[in-house]
Amino acid sequence: MEGTGPECTPAARALLMGGGPARPYWPHVPGQGWVSDGGALLLRALLRSYHGRRSAFGHPADYESAVNGRGVPDDGTGDPGVLLRRGTAFARSVLAAAERDVPGRSVTARISVAPVLDSPQEHTGYVTFASSRYAGERLRWTLEGDGPVVLLRGPGV
């Protein structure tokens, strides 16, 4: 994959460096490809399990982030480093598939970890994908704030 390397908050960099590699989860997702719906680029496997309506979204970016966003499975660990590394490994596999399957469209992944609201000693991970053209201006994906956030950008067009 010829995209850029990860952009990370300092908290994310520390978590990524603090442990061994993680295997991607849901290995079937990248291989099922992508579908375009009204300008939104959607992972086919995630669209199948999405239950919202396209008409509820006024902009393709909002639909992309709703369909293409999922929690990172934690297997009971709740360890923020494991969650961030696992989400990043999954994102890399999806971005590699996007480069192959959707030429001419660049995709960006946002991976984050945060404390659970009512149980701050536990953590949850989240990963989502959107067309790179929407990630910055429309979705405002940035590295601002203190929490662990990783941005991975696929190759440009």
Could you read off the pLDDT tens digit of each residue along the chain, which spans 157 residues? 455 678 999 999 999 988 877 777 888 999 999 999 989 999 999 999 999 888 999 999 999 999 999 999 887 777 899 999 999 999 999 999 999 899 888 999 999 999 988 988 889 999 999 999 898 878 888 887 778 999 998 876 4
At 15, list the tokens.
């978590």
Q: Does pTM surpass 0.85?
A: yes
Q: Which of 118, 121, 112, 101 is nearest to 141 (CA)?
A: 112
Q: Give the pair of three-digit tokens for residue 136.
A: 């910055």
Q: Supply the pLDDT for residue 1.
A: 45
Return the pLDDT at 98: 92
69, 127 Cβ separation under 8 angstroms: yes
Q: Give the E-state strand segments of 73-118 in sequence order.
A: 107-116
CB proximity list for 149: less than 8 A, separation 6 or greater: 8, 9, 11, 12, 110, 111, 112, 143
